[in-house]
Amino acid sequence: MTTESEFDLDGRAWGPVPGRGRIRVSPEDFRVREDLGHCPDGEGEHLWLWVEKRERNTVDVASDLARAAGVHPRQVSFAGLKDRNAVTEQYFSLHLPGSSDPDWRAWELEGVRIHRAERASRKIRRGRLKGNRFELRIRELDADRDALTERLERVRAGGVPNGFGQQRFGGNNLARARALFAGQLRRSPSKSKKGFYLSAARSLIFNQVLARRIAEGSWNRLLPGDVAMLDGTHSFFVADPDDTEQQRRCEAMDLHPTGPLVGLGEVPVTGEVLALETEVAEGEADLVEGLKRFRLEHQRRALRMRVLDLEWGFTGPDTLELRFGLGQGSYATSVLREILDLID
């Protein structure tokens, strides 16, 4: 059984990294801008707020907005959780049926700036976003620039493993998932906390499968029995590794091999892929059984992510600046671990 401190991937997909640096010296070193993929339509009973937050938890900001607007927290929605130790921008929606716009310009919320408000006919739904754009600054850089540039070019061309980042496991979520499944929690968790625990359990198993595929050199190619996912979607199908067109599309990152998000239902992989995923699942039998008992459905997640529009620049002798986009559910920290060792 894996301990909570061992959730991370072991090796690097593109080999040893060419150096190290320090991230998040200040919140401004880690900037995130949400891309929902759609805009408010200008009318309706929902008020969308474009919010910039600094060193604030997304859930806490949602609670602050509910208090300021005088509504129940259930009337505040957002698409995704954003990093706390960062400067991030994202939409929140307030459900205000039959009400006029509150005086949001007068609100004084710690670490929060509301840039604009627009009406919409629908609320923002959790998980419904296209992705995020990142602007990162890495300081105290200690790396050969030629080797680092070569690594960045490889990441831009070939992507990186789509592992779950450390924030998915924060706050002892994995230990609490095990306690939840064993009936050892002293009190029943809220719906949102239970969701964090279940997600951590699923993420651990996925990361372990991904780590095996990295070690075997198959994280970015189709194996017999694999299920392939179309880039930028959740659509998948049983792959044929002997199909040269599928292999070409995989090399072009139009298709990606997938790993399991464990739950009930048919497991679509077969052959050696099924054997690998079964072996990992058997090593975490308590998590697998717990996830099934809570009625989660089996899903698939791409093992590889495309790093969109990756650009970089060196500012001064020891600072690297990165700009890139990621699809929904992918982590910037998973990109960084393929580029540099990060100093705490």
* CATH classification at residue 83: 3.30.2350.20
Please indicate, yes or no, if residue 159 is contained in any of the structural domains. no
CA 90 – CA 53 distance, rounded (Å): 9
Residues 288, 169: one domain?
yes
Task: Report the alpha-carbon distance of residue 69 to residue 100 in Å, rounded.
Answer: 11
285-332-274 Cα angle (round to 5): 30
Gap between the Cα atoms of 16 and 166, Å rounded: 20
pLDDT of residue 2: 43
Return d(Cα 228, Cα 207) in angstroms, integer.
Answer: 17
- Both 97 and 192 in one domain: the answer is no
- Domain check: are 193 and 295 in the same one? yes
* 90: in domain: yes
Q: Cα-atom radius of gyration of the chain, to the nearest Å? A: 21
pLDDT reported for residue 6: 40
Q: Over pLDDT 70: what percentage of the chain?
A: 97
User: Which of 89, 120, 151 delimits the end of a domain?
Assistant: 120
> Residues 8, 56: one domain?
no
Report if residue 343 sits inside a domain. Answer: no
- Counting the structural domains of the chain, the total is 2
One domain for residues 103 and 185: no
Domain for residue 145, yes or no? Answer: no
pLDDT band at 7 (very low <50, low <70, confident <90, very high): very low
Out of 83, 142, 144, 240, the active site residue is: 83
- Rounded to whole angstroms, the Cα distance separating 192 from 76 reads 14
Residues 168 and 299 in one domain: yes
Whether residue 140 is contained in a domain is answered as no
Q: How far apart are CA 99 and CA 298, in angstroms?
A: 41
Q: In which domain, by residue range, is 108 found?
A: 38-120
Q: Based on the domain organization, do 111 and 169 belong to the same domain?
A: no
Residue 108 shares a structural domain with residue 176: no
The pLDDT of residue 188: 87
pLDDT at 4: 39
Q: For residues 9 and 73, state if they share a domain.
A: no
Is 83 an active-site residue? Answer: yes
Q: Are 77 and 124 in contact (CB under 8 A)?
A: yes
Cα 80 off chain centre by: 9
pLDDT digits (tens, 9 = 90+) for 255-311: 999 999 999 999 999 999 999 999 999 999 999 999 999 999 999 999 999 999 999
Q: What is the pLDDT of residues 41-65, one digit of tens each?
A: 999 999 999 999 999 999 999 999 9
In a domain, residue 157? The reply is no
Confirm whether 332 is domain-assigned. no
Q: Are residues 296 and 213 in the same domain?
A: yes
Q: 112-164 pLDDT, tens per residue?
A: 999 999 999 999 999 899 999 999 999 999 999 999 999 999 999 999 999 99
* Mean pLDDT, rounded, for 315-319: 90
Match 């604030």 to its residue by tokens.
56
Amino acid in the structure at residue 309:
D
pLDDT of residue 169: 83
279 shares its domain with 225: yes
Last residue of a domain, one of 88, 120, 152: 120
Q: In what order do the strands lie in the sheet with 227-230?
A: 236-238, 227-230, 255-261, 299-302
The CATH number that applies at residue 225 is: 3.30.2340.10
Domain membership flag for residue 141: no
47 shares a domain with 10:
no
